[in-house]
Structure 1
Amino acid sequence: MNKSLSSQEIRKYSLMIWKILIGGIALFAIFISMIGFGLFGALPSFRDIEHPKSNQASEIIAEDGRTLGTYFVQNRSNVTYKEISPNVINGLIATEDTRFKEHSGIDFKRTFTIIGYNLIGKKQGASTITQQLAKNLFPRESNLNFFSLVLTKFKEWIVAVKLERNYTKEEIITMYLNTVDFGNQAYGIKSAARVYFNTAPDKLTLTEAATLVGMQKGITMYSPTRHPERSKSRRNTVLAMMVKSEFLTSEEFDEQKEKPLGLRFNAATVNDGIAPYFRSVLKSDIKAILADPGRFKPDGTPYDIDRDGLKIYTTLNYDMQMYAEEAQKEYMKTLQAQFINSWKGRNPYKDKALQIEQGIKRSDRYKSLKAEGKTEDEITEDFNTKTEMTIFTWKGDVDTLMKPIDSVRYYKMLLRNAMMSMDPTNGHVKAWVGGINFEHFKYDQVKMGTRQVGSTAKPFTYTVAIENGYSPCYSVSNTPVTIEGYGKPYTPGSSGKPLPGAITLQKALAYSQNYVTAYLMKQVGPVAVANLATKMGIPEVPAYPSICLGTFDASVYNMVGAYGAFANKGIYTKPIYLLRIEDKNGVVLFSQKEIPKPVMSEEVAYVMTRMLKGVVTGGTGSRLNYKYKVNAPIGGKTGTTQNNSDGWFMAITPQLVTGIWTGCEDRAFHFISTSQGEGANTALPIFAGFIKKVYANPKLKISHADFEPPKSGVSIVYDCNQYQQQQEETTTELDEKLGF
């Protein structure tokens, strides 16, 4: 027979239970305190909490503030609270932490409720947004045992409380959304908005926001790209929870739940964005700049361009860059077809075994096989065995079965192209297209590559002649000239049928006549021409007579800089494209400004602009007017090298100087006829496509204004009627003095 407990025994047991409970709480408090003091492993310091580290992408910013692209290990760019759509904030709170604005980092009420659910088999997570932020900022180690996992969880509690003490609720939810992983190389809400919906985080709609919030339950399981139906179902769950939390009405839910996902997916890669060649060259420059110990972080370590969230401000104009890339793509399709058609019925690889062999040895495939220890015979067999590969075409990438050696031959016949445009008044580069496709061909042809410049070098010789008193109206017999005194006598030929008789310097430049150019070189000498070209930013120009016809190599970058001096009243400014670098807090780490340098008189520069305009109004560049209907005061110069291996077009306006080069990777591959291979056909049309779009955009403020003459006047006679009259008057005066 059971006896009932006496009141004394009840008090005894009650006291024991309270002792156990209070003792347990005390032990738990001591345990938490020990964790807080770091006895079970270091916790983030106060400085770490104040300045949490996370891999943050560095942004490359165009002159109008738009992002050209990013450098990253994790594609993460931070935003402020005001830059996040309320739809995201509300969806996140409704789904992940309904009492977010009430708790202090740990929601004990929710924690004990969730423990109860888990005990009855309904598995749920209990972490608050602040706790999840703590985990994002200070990631857990992998392969933790049960005790370590529990210990880590308690550490996250402590960090969460510290975060709540140091930051406002708005700052915490912003930090969370900036650090969370959305899959597909999208870290943070800004990257996710662009990758999945091609929009900004403040423009995310209800359904878009709910889709991204829903992914946090499982970025793979609820990925809208991998599992769209599952993602849509999860999105609607988020919307339903927003109704429950009174962020949404039932009517709005009924309207939104039927909408499609509406993805505008654009996978994030380091090549993502416009101007990939430019960004590649820029990255190398920045790495060199940041290697200077004087620009290290306060802790003495160098900045990491891929992790430290730098802001890189450039001179590039977003719209002009787009126009340049579009103009290249539009015309190169046509030109490539012309090129292939020109070789129809002929073997372009005849006598080119050496070039093909060089192409094989420069390929990534050859280098990889060599690294694996393959013999030359084994490599040869590999290159002659069909394999699956993806090749570039102007119609898009093509997956095909092809012998690697055939792909080498194919790419040898693929035309390449590069273009740069610059404001001559300050040297600011506005557009930079370093090649035809960065994914397939990484080599930048704007600054890193050099090619023979051909007739685009002729204006340097004419400039020296004008400086030495020649008028554009001076006439020269258009016949062969031999230049002696500089080694072997030099007698250049004509690139086509020469214009007959005596012609003016203006006409000779307009029609790119070699004989007259050689005549001027004979008068002024190669040293003066080489010195001028060097002062205009073209390095290593040899003082040989042949430089008058452009037998030296130069980059598009340097040629544009040089022509800028003509457009900028005789003042050369080295092209610049990086204005400043700031750290993520806005501290300026590097800045630079243009350095103008006079290289010729304003008067000579003005006369040269008129001569270069003559190339377009009535010379080798005239198709810019009559075919492409670009009717504006534009000066220019076409250039075509030996065997039509390189085609150039240089163009100047008072506000823009542009240079374009076209040719194959190897000079041994070229157009057969000059009519197709000349710069007027291979490069000029790309400028036409570019400048027409530039002029059509009023926001760019590129006017049709002509070059301004010097305020002090021009003593050089460039009006040929006036020049002829002066010559006749001089002849008459001389005859009278001599008594004729």
Structure 2
Amino acid sequence: MTRSRKPKRKFLKWTLRITLFGVLSILLFYLSVYLQVWGPLPNQNQLTEIRQSKASEVYASNGKLIGKFYIFDRQPIGYDEIPKHLIDALIATEDARFYDHDGIDNRSLLRVIFKSLLLQDESSGGGSTISQQLAKNLFPRKNHGIFSMPVNKTREAIIATRLEKAYTKEEIITLYLNTVPFGDNTFGIESAAGKFYSKKARELTLTESAVLIGMLKASHLYNPRIFPERSKTRRDVVLNQMSRYGYLTAEEVAIAKKEKLQLSYRGFSHEDGLAPYFREQVRKTLEEWTKHNKDEKGDKYNLYTSGLKIYTTLDYDMQRMAEEAMTEHMSKLQTDFEESYGKNAPWLKNASLIESTIERLPKYKALKASGRTKKQIMDSLAVKYEMELFDWSGKKVVKASPIDSAVHYLKFLNTGMLSIDPRSGAVKSWIGGIDFEHFQYDHVSQAKRQVGSTFKPIVYTAALEAGVDPCKHYSAQQVTYTNYNNWTPTNSGDEGNYDLNYSMKGALSNSVNTVAVKVLEDAGLQNVIGQAQRMGITSNMPQVPSIALGTAEISLIEMIEAYSSYVNSSRTVKPYFITSIEDSRGELIAEFKPEVSEDPAFSETTREAIIEMLKATVDEGTASRLRWKYGLSNDIAGKTGTTQSNKDGWFVGITPKLLTITWVGVDDHRIGFKTTSMGQGANSALPIYGLMMQKMNGDKNFNSITRAKFPPPSIEVLNQMGCKPVEEDGFLKRIFTNDEKPKPMEFDTKTEEEKEGIFSKIGNLFKRKDKKEKKKSGGGQN
């Protein structure tokens, strides 16, 4: 008898020890979270202040609201605006004992902590009350490695109990329904009701409420727009739960289940979704600003709760017209682009291109990091499921794999377009891409691409500053530069007949490559680079003559700063987009002014000469389709640009009061347009500008911009440029040079100062003095 008791006692002793150890471990773990070992927890006062939290608002220059930054939904409503059957559906489905607990369902919580902490069961899930879910919405989870689940669950439990002390049950329900995420990037019940049913939350029927509450389990999987059958099944589950907990009778549930799932879907209007890339740039800028600025209490401003009012330079109507023009052109160009390649498109046939694209996918990298073989990774990525894909004909739900998705998005042309007031730098319109939801990379603020012939005006500016006569005629014949791997620049398409001689005006307006390199040679490579830097370009420029053709990769913002000097008395301006910030009481707390360079980047005569050349580009050169196709009679100067292998198309449109630069191309540098006729800047980028200007011309509110005239150039500039833009070689010269091969030439990379020998310097002292006097008086050089 004694012997049999000993094993039992030993077993009970060890059971007790293990139990005590488990309980102690849980208590110690809970204490570590409570004492903020795993990160700070909001205190009671901070939670109470949530009541006063206000969204920050962003306004266009005309005072129209274009966006908000918030913790809550952009359309918060009160408890009395929420229908009772929706609240009943929420409680029955998400937290049946909501009115009986103090923020924590203790049984569920203990189960989750025990399983996830001691058994490392990540699928334990459950146990989250409405208060805990609200805590998760307000204070997003953080990564703590293998302890992430227990730490976050415990943290949310502690916050939930504090929320219950700070708010009534009705207030918690209201906060929850105003912050919870629904599908399609929609937050809060009022916004969800408007998007899926085109009505106010208080107008929702029982079945509509059940559909929306059903989405809370998984907003994408139960999205009624994308997966109607799945959403209907989930709706019926919610109705059954309401019956189970006494909110509905069996008869009411049976009647409700017979109703068809019908939506009245309303996507974001222009008022809701205008200028998404611009708003994102504002957000990034303000988040940085709030790090370094404090309120009168010494607390840092919070972009999402401080109720700031941010006033911007954006022209609401111009932005709308720019987006409409972009959509109209890019949707058509995409069709032409795909048809030009047909079945032999690189995104369909180029195996190495497709493979490298797949290997850049985040999911591919994650699977590789987990130790999977390449075959296992590819098999995993080849699994098809329902997903939403962007297309110009409308977003489509298709059954596709991550590989299919990557190939689908590889083919899309993208764009970047920026318009500013060239005298102040105020941003008037900003398009960072074709669709913010699916292409969040901003081609205005983030991208650097080869700029093609849009760099040529900078070359010509440097040449004029170096004293080159604008009426000097250059032969368009090819030249081989032996000290640069026998590089021989050629002209694109019909641009630049090799038998012709071009003045600067003729060569720039027709974008003649062979002449541009010769002008660079006269100006001096280092002088051209220095000129670009004085005009605001900070990107690295290769020390090779091909930069005359725009082989340097430069951002759109840098280029627009450089071009601003041609309209702004030779002084550059930096684009800016926020004018002022007010606090929630309307008190001015920050103001932003234009940044205009103090020193001119070049002389006034040079500026006038370049403008005349760029006007000729529109009137009779590579941008002339603005006249004959789009019927624009405005005073416009401009420059087209196309890069190697038709990878990038550019257009710069200049009027006295508006400067616009547009880029079009494929994000993957390895894919270009199949033909120059399609990919050239005049066809790919210029039309967006042309369509936008057409719309602006039709609105009298833009008369001050569209009817602005360039001031006439000085008599001196007119005299300097009073020569034929193009001359043909004489008959005898053509006979004796037709079969003559271009002579090898060495390219001079020295500045003007370095090129002058000692005797030249002595002989030019008086000439140099005269040149300076002319610059001071606004005169030019012959």
TM-score clears 0.5: yes
2:670 to 668, 671, 681: 668
CA distance in 2, matches of 1:585, 1:361: 51
Matches within 5 A, 1:141-156: none
Alignment-mate amino acid for residue 414 of structure 2: R
Note the C-alpha offset of 1:182: 9.3
2:489 is matched with 492
Does structure 2 conserve the Cα–Cα contact (< 8 Å) formed by 1:644 and 1:674? yes
TM-score (norm 1): 0.66
2:535 is matched with 536
Q: For 1:407-451, what per-residue CA distance to the aligned partner results, in whole angstroms no more than 9, with x for missing partners?
A: 322322211111111110100111111111111111111110111
Does structure 2 conserve the Cα–Cα contact (< 8 Å) formed by 1:477 and 1:516? yes
Q: For 1:20-55, what per-residue CA distance to the aligned partner results, in whole angstroms no more than 9, with x for missing partners?
A: xxxxxxxxxxxxxxxxxxxxxx9988x999x77444
Q: For 1:85-142, what per-residue CA distance to the aligned partner results, in whole angstroms no more than 9, with x for missing partners?
A: xxx99x979x9xxxxxxxxxxxxxxxxxxxxxxxxxxxxxxxxxxxxxxx99xx9x99
Question: RMSD of the alignment, in Å?
Answer: 4.4
Note the C-alpha offset of 1:374: 4.0
1:172 is matched with none
Q: For 1:353-412, what per-residue CA distance to the aligned partner results, in whole angstroms no more than 9, with x for missing partners?
A: 443233213224324545666443321112333333222111111222234323322322
1:61 is matched with 59
Note the C-alpha offset of 1:643: 0.7
2:436 is matched with 438
Secondary structure of the structure 1 residue equivalent to 2:565: helix
Secondary structure of the structure 2 residue equivalent to 1:59: strand
CA distance in 1, matches of 2:523, 2:606: 15
1:19 is matched with none
1:420 to 399, 418, 421: 418
CA distance in 2, matches of 1:716, 1:266: 55
CA distance in 1, matches of 2:156, 2:280: 34
Does structure 2 conserve the Cα–Cα contact (< 8 Å) formed by 1:277 and 1:435? yes
CA distance in 2, matches of 1:195, 1:48: 26
1:702 is matched with 705
- Give the direction of change, closer, same or farther, for the CA distance of 1:296–1:215 in structure 2 (3 Å limit): farther
2:602 to 596, 600, 603: 600
Secondary structure of the structure 2 residue equivalent to 1:571: coil
**2:526 is the counterpart of 1:527:** yes
CA distance in 1, matches of 2:371, 2:671: 32
CA distance in 1, matches of 2:411, 2:266: 34
- Give the direction of change, closer, same or farther, for the CA distance of 1:347–1:77 in structure 2 (3 Å limit): closer
Alignment-mate amino acid for residue 634 of structure 1: I
Does structure 2 conserve the Cα–Cα contact (< 8 Å) formed by 1:695 and 1:702? no
**2:589 is the counterpart of 1:586:** no
Note the C-alpha offset of 1:74: 1.3
1:248 is matched with none
Note the C-alpha offset of 1:197: 6.1
Matches within 5 A, 1:174-189: 181=178
The percentage of counterpart residues that share the same residue type is: 34
1:645 is matched with 647
1:630 is matched with 632
Does structure 1 conserve the Cα–Cα contact (< 8 Å) formed by 2:323 and 2:431? yes
Matches within 5 A, 1:226-375: 265-266=266-267, 273-292=273-292, 295-349=293-347, 352-370=350-368, 374-375=372-373
Alignment-mate amino acid for residue 507 of structure 2: A
Note the C-alpha offset of 1:459: 0.5
- Give the direction of change, closer, same or farther, for the CA distance of 1:721–1:268 in structure 2 (3 Å limit): closer
Does structure 2 conserve the Cα–Cα contact (< 8 Å) formed by 1:717 and 1:723? no
CA distance in 2, matches of 1:338, 1:183: 43
Matches within 5 A, 1:461-480: 461-480=459-478
Larger radius of gyration: 1
Does structure 2 conserve the Cα–Cα contact (< 8 Å) formed by 1:475 and 1:502? yes
Secondary structure of the structure 1 residue equivalent to 2:634: coil
CA distance in 2, matches of 1:587, 1:375: 60
CA distance in 2, matches of 1:78, 1:319: 28
- Give the direction of change, closer, same or farther, for the CA distance of 1:449–1:432 in structure 2 (3 Å limit): same
Secondary structure of the structure 1 residue equivalent to 2:609: helix
Alignment-mate amino acid for residue 414 of structure 1: F
- Give the direction of change, closer, same or farther, for the CA distance of 1:339–1:183 in structure 2 (3 Å limit): same
Note the C-alpha offset of 1:471: 4.5
Note the C-alpha offset of 1:466: 2.1
2:253 is matched with none
CA distance in 1, matches of 2:284, 2:368: 27
Note the C-alpha offset of 1:580: 2.5
Alignment-mate amino acid for residue 419 of structure 2: S
Q: For 1:65-101, what per-residue CA distance to the aligned partner results, in whole angstroms no more than 9, with x for missing partners?
A: 112222222124799xxxxxxxx99x979x9xxxxxx
CA distance in 2, matches of 1:363, 1:92: 44
CA distance in 2, matches of 1:352, 1:262: 42
1:731 is matched with none
1:454 is matched with 452
Comparing 428-437 with 698-707, greater Cα deviation is found at 698-707
Does structure 2 conserve the Cα–Cα contact (< 8 Å) formed by 1:182 and 1:219? no
**Number of aligned residue pairs:** 560
Does structure 2 conserve the Cα–Cα contact (< 8 Å) formed by 1:455 and 1:640? yes
Alignment-mate amino acid for residue 501 of structure 1: L
Secondary structure of the structure 2 residue equivalent to 1:427: coil
- Give the direction of change, closer, same or farther, for the CA distance of 1:346–1:215 in structure 2 (3 Å limit): closer
Secondary structure of the structure 2 residue equivalent to 1:395: coil
Alignment-mate amino acid for residue 530 of structure 1: I
Does structure 2 conserve the Cα–Cα contact (< 8 Å) formed by 1:526 and 1:543? yes
Residue ranges of structure 1 left out of the alignment (5+ in a row): 1-41, 80-87, 96-134, 161-175, 199-206, 231-260, 725-740
CA distance in 2, matches of 1:655, 1:634: 10
Does structure 2 conserve the Cα–Cα contact (< 8 Å) formed by 1:388 and 1:400? yes
2:567 is matched with 567
- Give the direction of change, closer, same or farther, for the CA distance of 1:370–1:439 in structure 2 (3 Å limit): farther
Residue ranges of structure 2 left out of the alignment (5+ in a row): 1-41, 85-133, 139-154, 216-223, 225-230, 236-261, 727-782
1:555 is matched with 555
2:506 is matched with 507
1:679 to 678, 681, 703: 681
Note the C-alpha offset of 1:458: 0.4
Does structure 1 conserve the Cα–Cα contact (< 8 Å) formed by 2:456 and 2:508? yes
Does structure 2 conserve the Cα–Cα contact (< 8 Å) formed by 1:621 and 1:637? yes
Does structure 1 conserve the Cα–Cα contact (< 8 Å) formed by 2:468 and 2:522? no
Does structure 1 conserve the Cα–Cα contact (< 8 Å) formed by 2:348 and 2:407? no
TM-score (norm 2): 0.63
Q: For 1:672-727, what per-residue CA distance to the aligned partner results, in whole angstroms no more than 9, with x for missing partners?
A: 211111111111111111111122222233232221146x7644635525999xxx
CA distance in 2, matches of 1:606, 1:195: 56
Does structure 2 conserve the Cα–Cα contact (< 8 Å) formed by 1:422 and 1:658? yes
CA distance in 2, matches of 1:463, 1:639: 17
- Give the direction of change, closer, same or farther, for the CA distance of 1:377–1:474 in structure 2 (3 Å limit): same
Matches within 5 A, 1:193-232: 220=209
Note the C-alpha offset of 1:474: 2.9
CA distance in 2, matches of 1:371, 1:430: 45
Secondary structure of the structure 2 residue equivalent to 1:393: coil
Alignment-mate amino acid for residue 289 of structure 1: W
**2:386 is the counterpart of 1:391:** no
- Give the direction of change, closer, same or farther, for the CA distance of 1:182–1:265 in structure 2 (3 Å limit): farther
CA distance in 2, matches of 1:92, 1:78: 10
Comparing 358-367 with 678-687, greater Cα deviation is found at 358-367
- Give the direction of change, closer, same or farther, for the CA distance of 1:640–1:196 in structure 2 (3 Å limit): same
Q: For 1:476-528, what per-residue CA distance to the aligned partner results, in whole angstroms no more than 9, with x for missing partners?
A: 2111235577x656542222353232122111111110111111111111111
Secondary structure of the structure 2 residue equivalent to 1:658: strand
Alignment-mate amino acid for residue 708 of structure 1: P
Does structure 2 conserve the Cα–Cα contact (< 8 Å) formed by 1:356 and 1:409? yes
Alignment-mate amino acid for residue 281 of structure 1: Q
Note the C-alpha offset of 1:663: 0.9
Secondary structure of the structure 2 residue equivalent to 1:566: coil
